[in-house]
Amino acid sequence: MPLLLLLITSFLSLLLLYTIITIRKKSSSSSLPNWPLLGMLPSLLWNLSNLHDFATRILKAHGGTFAFRGPSFTNLDFIVTSDPANVHHIVTKNFSNYPKGPELKAIMEPFGEVIFNTDGDSWKTKKDIILSLIKTAGFERLLMTTLRHKLADSLIPVLDHAARNHDDVVLDMQDVMKRFTFDLTCLLLLGIDPECLSTSFPRVPCAEAFDVIEEAIVYRHCVPPWVWKLQRWLHVGWEGKTVKAEECLNAFLEERIRVKMVEKQAKESSLNDDGDDNYDLLMKLIVETERLMGAACYSSKGEKFVRETVVSLMVAGRDTIAVALSWFFWLVTTNPGVEEKILEELDRVVITQTGEEQGIFSSIEELNKMVYLHGAISETLRLYPSVPNEPKQSMEADVLPSGHAVGKNTRILVSIYSMGRMEEVWGKDWMEFKPERWISERTEGNNIINDDDVDKKKKCTIHVPSYKFAAFLAGPRSCPGRKIAFMQLKNIASCVLRRYKIVVVDDHPVLPLPSIMMFMKYGLKVRVLSRKPENK
Ligand code: HEM
C-alpha cells in the first residue's frame, strides 16, 4: 500500500512538473498550450502578475490578434486584439455590433448604471448630458480656478512638508495623486472638498468606499459570476464589503444632491450659462435632468440619474489622472534628459511667474505653449495608458479585417496597452520614452494640430489617429474628457516639477497591477527635494 501511494504521488509530481515546464516553455515561446478541459487558463494564471506584458508578447507573436480559449466548463473564451485595423473596425466602423454587453453591466452594477456599462439609448442620453456639462467654457474656467486653489492649498503644502523632512518622509506619489484627484473631482462635481489630501493623510470614508467598489469590479472580472453573486446574496467576502461601500458612497452623494435641490428651490434659479463665472455643474445637471424627465418624474428616477451621472464623472476623471501622473513622474525621474527639457520649457513659458504662482498656469493659452510637456504626457499614456483594456461583446457574427471570425456574443478585448508597444506603429524604438516622437516643426499638413497656437512656426504636437494611439479610445465612445485631462495633467505636472525634484526610493519595485486601471502594484515610493535654494 505505501508503495502504491509512493507511485501515485511520484506520478502526480512528475505530471505537475511537466505541466509547469510546458507552460513556462510555451509562455516564453509566446504560444499558449490549449489543455483539455482547462483551455489556456493555466498560462493566464501563470502570467497573472505580468498580464499586460504577457498579452503584448502573445499579440506580437500572432500578428496583433489572438483567440483565447477558456476552460470548457466556463464561458471564458475571448478575442484580444491590438491591430489598429481591427480596433478601427470594432470601435468605429462597425460600432453598433460591439456594445459593452450585459456582462459588464452586471459587473459594474455596484456603481449603478454609469456611462461605462450602458449601451444604446441609455448610453446616448448619458453622453449627451455629460457633453453638455463638461464641453463648456464655464467648466474649463471652473477647472482652471479650482485647480489653482487646490494646488496651492493642499498639494504644495503636502510636498513642502515632505521636502522639509526629506530624510524622514517617504511619500507614495500614487496615493498622493489619488487623494488629490478625489478632492478635485468632488470640488468640480459637487462643490465640496472631502480633504483627503493633507499632511495627516486622513481616512475619508467616501473615498475609501470608492476604492472598495473599484476593487470589487476587478474581483468580479476574475471569478465566475455565480461566485460573486452568491457572496453578494450572503453579504460575505469582498461582496459584503462592497454592499457597505455602496451605502456609504450613495449616502455621501445623495446628501449633496439633496442640499443642491434645496438650494435650487430657494433660489428658484435656472442654470448658470457659460457667461457665468460661478459655474455650478451639479445645479446644471439637476436642471437638465428635470428638463429631460419632467419635474413630476424627477423624485423617483431623477435623483438616481443625477447620482449615476456624478459617479460616471468620478470614475472617468479621478484615477485616470492619478495613475497617468504616477507613471509620468516615474518615467520623467528615470529619464533625466527628459526632465531637463521639461524644466527648460517651463523656464521659457512661465518666466513671468514668481513666488506662490510658480509653475501654476492661469490660462489655457499658457498651457498650450507647453509642447514638450504635452509630448511627455502623450508618451506616458502610450506606454502606460490609464485604461489598459477596452472590453466589448459582439451582437452578431462578424469577420475582423485581420480575417478572424467573431461569433455572436463573443467577448473582445482591445488591448490599449499593447497598441502603444507595436513596432509597426511606433517603430523599432517603441520601448523608449521619447517625447520627441510627438513633436513636429512643420507648419502645414494634415498631421499637425495646435489649435490655439498663434505662432504657427512654433513646435507643434503631432496628431496620431486615435485607432493607433487609443489611450482615449476612438469612435463614438471615445473619451470626451481628453482636453480637460491634458489641462489637469500639464498643470499638476508642471507645478510639481518646477518646485520639487522627485526621487524614487532605491530598489522600489515599479510594476503595473493587473487591473481595469493602470495602477502601480506597489505605488510609487519617493522622496521629495525642494528646488528652492532655501529649502535645499
Ligand atoms: C488621463 C486621463 C484620461 C484617460 C486616459 C481617459 C481615457 C478614457 C477611455 C479609454 C475611455 C473609454 C473607456 C470605456 O469606454 O470603457 C474613456 C471614456 C470616458 N471618459 Fe475619459 N479618460 C481620461 C480622463 C477623463 C476625464 C478628466 C473625463 C471627464 C471629466 C473623462 C470622461 C470620460 C467619459 C464621460 C467617458 C465615457 C465615454 C463613453 O462611454 O461614451 N475622461 N476615457
User: In DSSP terms, which residues pair with 512 in a beta bridge?
Assistant: 520
User: Mind listing the pLDDT tens digit for each residue in 103-150?
Assistant: 899 999 999 999 999 999 999 999 999 999 999 999 999 999 999 999
Which of residues 311 and 22 earns the better pLDDT score?
A: 311
What is the position in ligand 1's atom list of the atom closest to the CA of 134? 30
Closest residue by Cα to residue 477 from 312, 285, 327, 283: 312
Q: In this structure, are residues 117 and 107 in contact, taking their beta carbons and an 8 Å threshold?
A: yes
Q: Is 297 annotated as a binding residue?
A: no
What does the longest C-alpha to C-alpha distance in the chain come to?
88
Considering only 71-85, 242-256, 343-357, 490-504, which range has the smallest mean pLDDT? 343-357
Look at residue 451 and tell me whether its pLDDT is greater than 50.
Answer: no
Q: In this structure, are residues 252 and 206 in contact, taking their beta carbons and an 8 Å threshold?
A: yes
Model pLDDT, residue 364: 82
Q: How far is the CA of 479 from the centre of ligand 1 (A)?
A: 4
Percent of the chain as helix, strand, coil, to the nearest 5: 60, 10, 35
Q: What residue has cell string 444632491?
A: 257
Question: In the structure, what pLDDT confidence band is assigned to residue 376 with cuts at 50, 70 and 90?
Answer: very high
Question: What number of CA atoms fall less than 13 Å from residue 485's CA on the CB side?
Answer: 24
Q: How far is the CA of 13 from the centre of ligand 1 (A)?
A: 48
Would the ipTM clear 0.85, i.e. be above it? yes
Which of residues 242 and 274 earns the better pLDDT score?
A: 242
Ligand 1 binding pocket, CB closer than 6 Å: 115-116, 127, 130, 134, 312-313, 316-317, 320-321, 324, 381, 385-387, 390, 471-473, 477, 479-481, 484-485
Q: How far is the CA of 273 from the centre of ligand 1 (A)?
A: 24
Which of residues 532 and 174 earns the better pLDDT score?
A: 174
Question: In the structure, what pLDDT confidence band is assigned to residue 35 with cuts at 50, 70 and 90?
Answer: confident
The average pLDDT across 274-297 equals: 82
Q: In this structure, are residues 274 and 141 in contact, taking their beta carbons and an 8 Å threshold?
A: no
Cell of 91: 470601435
Q: How far is CA 529 from the centre of its chain?
A: 28
- pTM of the model as a whole: 0.90
Q: Above pLDDT 70, what percent of the chain? A: 86
Question: In the structure, what pLDDT confidence band is assigned to residue 456 with cuts at 50, 70 and 90?
Answer: very low
Report the distance separating Cα 65 and Cα 410, nearest Å. 14
Q: Above pLDDT 90, what percent of the chain? A: 69
Which of residues 490 and 219 earns the better pLDDT score?
A: 490
Model pLDDT, residue 43: 87
